[in-house]
Amino acid sequence: MRARRISLVRSGVLLGATAALTFGVLPGTADAAPRASSPQQAAQLVADANHQLEIVSEQVNAARVALDKQKAAVAAADKAAASSQKSLDAMAAQIRRLARQAYTGSGTSRLDVLMTSKSADQFVSQLGTLDAIAGHTNQLVASVKKASSATAAARAKADQAAAKAQQAFDVVSAKQKDLQAKIADYQHQYNALSAPQRQVVNLSAAGATVAPTAAAAPTGTAQAAVNTALAQVGKPYVWGAAGPSAFDCSGLMQYAWSAAGVALPHSSSAQSTMGVAVSRDQLQPGDLVFFYSPVSHVGMYIGNGQMVHAATSGEPVKVVSLDSMGSYNSARRVA
């Protein structure tokens, strides 16, 4: 049942992501997308919606990261429960064996020891052996009780984690229904724009493409991440994607740093807590740079005032000027 429940959670999150990543209104809003009274206003509305779209995308990514942690907790708790149960079964078998010896005459009583001892020293020695056996039995009983409690606690923890995962699915599913009703409205406005207007919208969210002039990274690890990120230039932006054929912003950073042997979560907000903080005037190639407050976009600094990032829907992975993005938030050095 637990496996089926987790499978449903995984499917639900992916379905939620598919819906959430194509519309520019934040989850929980019930109003339709604003209607434009002019092409210029439509372009601005779509540009704003693109930013809101990325916020939604990164919220879904963050929810997926949290869900993965909960699923890991379920797996760890199940493993602990199995280990405890194995110990419990082994100790219970020992106790049953000792009990059979005590009550079938194969054991030795204190009276038997007294009657068969040839000297006081032998009596004391044999009595000590009996006490040691009794003490060992008592310890086994205590260990069995402890293992039993540990097993119950581990299974309770697993059930609690599974319940949280189910709750996360329910929340995403509810937001999905609201977003599905708005997808067509947003897409209609975007499709109504002329090609130049779409370009304005895309540039406002993605920045103008520049020719890469990457500097040497300070370490081989950072250089590997930079090289991997730059190798993805030209690939499409897809909400929730983490390579190798398409990316969103945090998915590109996760992919690039994974190639360098560094694991990052697929979430810009989670990535903004990794490694150590770096001031803007101390940026080095490979550093992650974050935008907006709260953080909802991430790119990789490559030196000479440039960054590579998966920008927005309709725009490929590209290199842009760091200053072209605006709303700079912070930077982190992860290795």
Question: Which residues are catalytically annotated?
Answer: 249, 297, 309
CA of 296: how far to CAs of 95, 99, 202, 248, in Å? Answer: 59, 65, 17, 11
Host H or E run for residue 288: strand 288-291
Q: How many other β-carbons are positioned within 10 Å of the β-carbon of residue 111?
A: 8
State how far the Cα of 155 lies from the Cα of 135, in Å rounded to an integer.
30
State how far the Cα of 253 lies from the Cα of 232, in Å rounded to an integer.
11
Q: In what order do the strands lie in the sheet with 297-303?
A: 276-277, 328-333, 288-291, 297-303, 306-309, 318-321
At residue 321's C-alpha, the angle toward residues 318 and 322, to 5°, is 105
Q: Are 219 and 290 in contact (CB under 8 A)?
A: no
- Pairing label, strands 328-333, 288-291: antiparallel
Q: In angstroms, how far is CA 126 from the centroid of its own chain?
A: 60
Burial class (CB in 10 A: 0-12, 13-18, 19+), 38: exposed
- Dihedral angle over CA of 219, 220, 222, 223, nearest 10: 120
State how far the Cα of 66 lies from the Cα of 70, in Å rounded to an integer.
6
Cα Rg of the chain, angstroms: 31
Burial class (CB in 10 A: 0-12, 13-18, 19+), 95: middle
